[in-house]
Structure 1
Amino acid sequence: MNSWNLALSRPLWLLLLLLMVGGCAPNAAYRTAEPSATCPSSGCTTAALEHHPAYDIGFVEFTDRGNVFDREQMNTLLQYIDTQANSLGGATVVVFVHGWKHNAAPADRNLQSFRNMLQSTATAKLTGNRRLIGVYIGWRGQSLDLPVAEHLTYWARKNTAHDVGKGGVTELLLRLEHTLEPKPATADPNRNVLVTIGHSFGGVVLLSALHDVLLDRVVSTETVGNAQCSKNNRDRCGNCVRTRNFGHGVILLNPAVEANELLPLKEVVAEQQCYAETQPKLLHVVSSTADIATRIAFRAGQYLGVSVSTSELPLKRTYKGKTVTLHEHGLDTTTIGNYLPFRSGVSVRRTPQNQPYCADPNSQRSECYMVCREDEPGCFTSEDAAKHIPIGSSEPLHFLYTDADFIKDHNDVFNPKVGGYIAAVVMESSYQRMKAQPQHTPTQVLAQTLPACLNDAGDKFHFPNCFDHHVNVLKQQK
């Protein structure tokens, strides 16, 4: 570049720099003025704890290094949740971790959608007599407030999401679990409910925060008698194992997390031979084929950020007698929800073409669910089946692949189908937790389960029925 062109370019670079500096979002908390407020009121834009007629919502915000901005605010929220958990009705706590380009600002779209979700859930009385409390985990997902230039923050915000998750978020989630767990251990396991949800880079935060916790849970299994094994598992194992879950479920929606981050957890689960029929799901990963951000853009971003070198190797593994080769570059450049070897279920709109492969081919429901096992066609081709990690009965990890009818794009995670799925996850976990306690007879378990969540015979939990019921209930709230 000659000196004349360099002289002309300097003002352009200076202008771009000034625009970027002017568009920077501060690394600061938004909820700083009042500790709590009864809404609606002016304080509801700055209070750390909002009290609405049908629900509450608390905020815990973290710095780019993962440190909580205000420990007093966090402790005040935990004390309030503890009070509600020990009240006559108990508490249902829903934690939401937002993703890229979002924060805890009053006008943030994710925050507004989370409020609407809480309101719909409360109006539909899905929590019973429990007090519904939302916990919004805020971090600087949006560091640049410029429509085009903000896309350049992908790598920085992804790294920040890892740092945030490895900081104080783990403490907050563990303290929530401890606050809401039954005391004594023999008490009603569903007196209180805890469900944690992460979206996009919020999935990075949540998985980073809970990865080692979940890994410890699947390593530290409890052996149970063969009465809790399925017939196939009794024939193979004699005894089954069960691992303690985290609350009533951890759910990642369109997570922008590379598969390599979850590989250790998946491998420990894949190597376990038999899980008990009473094993609740530890982790749900829900990703949509209509999500261009994680299916295509993420891969492009990772290709630019992950160097292709001889240090990335093929990994030859044997799971349950099947040999599978995993490639580290694919693990680094593909999200966990789009990584075919992990897939355990597909839920798409029912068509004449996929009808024979649906788990319930004679059903009239619009949704077609397919179990992704090598001997059950529909999820993938025979060539792809060779790459798939085999799935055992009642495994605690579930990777569900959906379509535009379920989640229409990257941000469509507050619709009634997603809400119905979350509600069914909680109900299934509640059923399994009660069923695992020896003092509850099968008759008692069934009597305390929502009838809409049972099969037609009324003697087993039926996830599709439960899902359909809650979707219809939430649609009526729109």
Structure 2
Amino acid sequence: MPGFRRFGRTKIVLLLLVALYVGRPAYYSLSVWLSPESIGDRACPPGAKGDPDADAPRHRISGTIKTIQLTDAGAYVNRCQLTAALVEFTRLRRGVDDVGKKLVVIYVHGWRNDERTTDGDYVSFKKLIDDLTRANEHRKHVVGIYVSWKARSDNPVLGLVNFWSRMFAADRIAQSGTVASIIGAASNIVRTNNHDSELIAIGHSFGARILFSSVQQNFLYALARAHPGYRGGTYAKIEPIADGVILLNPAFEASMYTRLDAQRRLQEKFNPHQPPLLVVISSKADLATRAAFPFGRWLAGWLPWNELVTVGNNPEYWTHDLRRSEQCQTKERLDFWAGFSHKGLCMTHRVGVPFPFHMVTTDASIINGHSDIWNPEFSDFLFELVKKMSERARPPAYTQGSMTVDQPEADMTTVPLNPH
């Protein structure tokens, strides 16, 4: 094809890039138009579709998953979905659940997933909840909350090029405060009657972007309240809104993490009994966040490096490595300065200041791509990680009280952010 050769492949590529850039507003408009409408964002009227009093049994079944669907603007598609989710772990079965112990796991899915029960993320999340239910039989009532948003297009062409519109939607959802409200409501109920109950939140891809934006300021507030108040002091026990947050191959720029990382310094130290609060796991084999994300951000305009690279691909933030080894030094522990291991997968701490916010890097042998977070080996590791984080979230010495500024290192003074 002489004409093609004369024009040049480079010019063809440049024209395609220009077309993508110019066409972004159309992607936004079309995606918003296709987003589900809210049929009731303020209340769940009695007898309405999804009303838990009308549709659900009186006694709850451990291991149930409740879906909460959101619009691109962050509104509830049906407020009754939220009501049903909260009711699910307030009305418990007779018998084992009478003790009131709960384990609530919230999952915010990422790009190219949705609310359908046949969706790959939903199926894998259900398996995680089923495994946790069996592990906590006769001990805790387990509930899964699947937070869904319009992150997938049924049109295969739009599904490949809707990067900007889905990132824009993720930011709008986070800015609306809805996910923060869901986590806050769940935290309030979980912690009201029993301090052996736990709330763990997990996010993947753009879902991790939504989740981190929803909890970041609460983390900073918790850190400020637990600060010793003087140079060289030890933080009190940090009590954020969730007992643990796990982000998998997160799709948000490194600059969003700058303020949290700034707390990793020599002027103060964290209590050696402080459980980890945030675990971010990113794979070097994730081309979506390692290459496609920076490229998509670059198309939006010339930005500093920290605005282009994702948080998990910034070596300056790395605190842990996740690798395969038959001789793990961590011995199944979840001490934030040492790490965690399970069946030959070792999450070990790098050199540096102990920090309850883990930034973990791994490779293709463990997570081979952006959506490979549910492969059998890593799924098993994730299950054990959630289980350990929930077990460590409420140590036996847990007591409520106010922060003091001069406590021995071994004393876990508690700073409750949600007193009940």
TM-score interval, normalised by the smaller of the two chains: 0.7 to 0.9
Does 1:266 pair with 2:256?
A: no
- Taking the aligned partners of 2:62 and 2:234, their CA distance within structure 1 comes to 45
1:315 maps to none
Point out the structure with max Rg over C-alpha.
1
Q: CA deviation at 1:107?
A: 2.8
Runs of 4+ in 1 over 6 A off after TM superposition: 29-32
1:463 maps to none
1:298 maps to 293
Q: Which runs of 5+ in 2 are unaligned?
A: 1-25, 41-47, 332-340, 401-420
- Taking the aligned partners of 1:244 and 1:196, their CA distance within structure 2 comes to 15
Does 1:420 pair with 2:381?
A: yes
2:112 maps to 101
Instruction: Write out aligned runs for 1:134-149 (5 A).
Output: 134-142=144-152, 144-149=153-158
Q: 1:95 to 1:81 in 2, by over 3 A?
A: same
TM-score when normalising by structure 2? 0.73
Q: Contact 2:323/2:346 (CA < 8 Å) preserved in 1?
A: yes
Q: CA deviation at 1:83?
A: 2.5
* CA deviation vs aligned residue, 1:156-209 (integer Å, no higher than 9, x gap): 1101101112221111111111111154xxxx632x221100000000110111
* CA deviation vs aligned residue, 1:332-383 (integer Å, no higher than 9, x gap): 11111111110001112339xxx8xx7569x99643544221xxxxxxxxxx
2:392 maps to 431
SS at 1:243 equivalent: strand
- Taking the aligned partners of 1:360 and 1:105, their CA distance within structure 2 comes to 39
AA partner of residue 325 (structure 2): R
Moved more, 167-176 or 417-426: 417-426
Instruction: Write out aligned runs for 1:80-229 (5 A).
Output: 80-84=88-92, 87-88=98-99, 90-123=101-134, 125-126=135-136, 129-142=139-152, 144-167=153-176, 168-183=178-193, 189-190=195-196, 192-221=197-226, 223=228
Q: CA deviation at 1:437?
A: 2.6
- Taking the aligned partners of 2:223 and 2:256, their CA distance within structure 1 comes to 16
Does 1:336 pair with 2:311?
A: yes
2:4 maps to none
Q: CA deviation at 1:412?
A: 1.8
Q: 1:240 to 1:420 in 2, by over 3 A?
A: same
SS at 2:255 equivalent: helix
SS at 1:196 equivalent: strand
- Taking the aligned partners of 2:317 and 2:72, their CA distance within structure 1 comes to 31
- Taking the aligned partners of 1:252 and 1:348, their CA distance within structure 2 comes to 17
What is the aligned-residue RMSD (CA, Å)?
Answer: 3.6
Q: CA deviation at 1:61?
A: 1.4
AA partner of residue 174 (structure 2): G
2:271 maps to 276
Q: 1:369 to 1:195 in 2, by over 3 A?
A: closer
1:407 maps to 367
- Taking the aligned partners of 2:371 and 2:207, their CA distance within structure 1 comes to 12
- Taking the aligned partners of 1:301 and 1:136, their CA distance within structure 2 comes to 28
Instruction: Write out aligned runs for 1:236-385 (5 A).
Output: 237=232, 239-270=234-265, 273-308=268-303, 329-350=304-325, 359=329, 366-373=344-351
- Taking the aligned partners of 2:127 and 2:138, their CA distance within structure 1 comes to 18
- Taking the aligned partners of 1:162 and 1:419, their CA distance within structure 2 comes to 31
Q: Contact 1:243/1:279 (CA < 8 Å) preserved in 2?
A: yes
- Taking the aligned partners of 1:175 and 1:360, their CA distance within structure 2 comes to 35
Q: CA deviation at 1:240?
A: 4.2
SS at 1:68 equivalent: coil
Q: CA deviation at 1:283?
A: 0.9
Q: CA deviation at 1:247?
A: 2.8
SS at 1:82 equivalent: coil
The count of residues paired between Structure 1 and Structure 2 equals 351
Q: Contact 2:63/2:130 (CA < 8 Å) preserved in 1?
A: yes
Q: 1:350 to 1:151 in 2, by over 3 A?
A: same
Q: Contact 1:204/1:256 (CA < 8 Å) preserved in 2?
A: yes
- Taking the aligned partners of 2:383 and 2:182, their CA distance within structure 1 comes to 21
Q: Contact 1:194/1:247 (CA < 8 Å) preserved in 2?
A: yes
Q: CA deviation at 1:139?
A: 0.9
Q: Contact 1:219/1:268 (CA < 8 Å) preserved in 2?
A: no
- Taking the aligned partners of 2:265 and 2:60, their CA distance within structure 1 comes to 44
SS at 1:181 equivalent: helix
Q: 1:151 to 1:81 in 2, by over 3 A?
A: same
TM-score when normalising by structure 1? 0.65
SS at 1:262 equivalent: helix
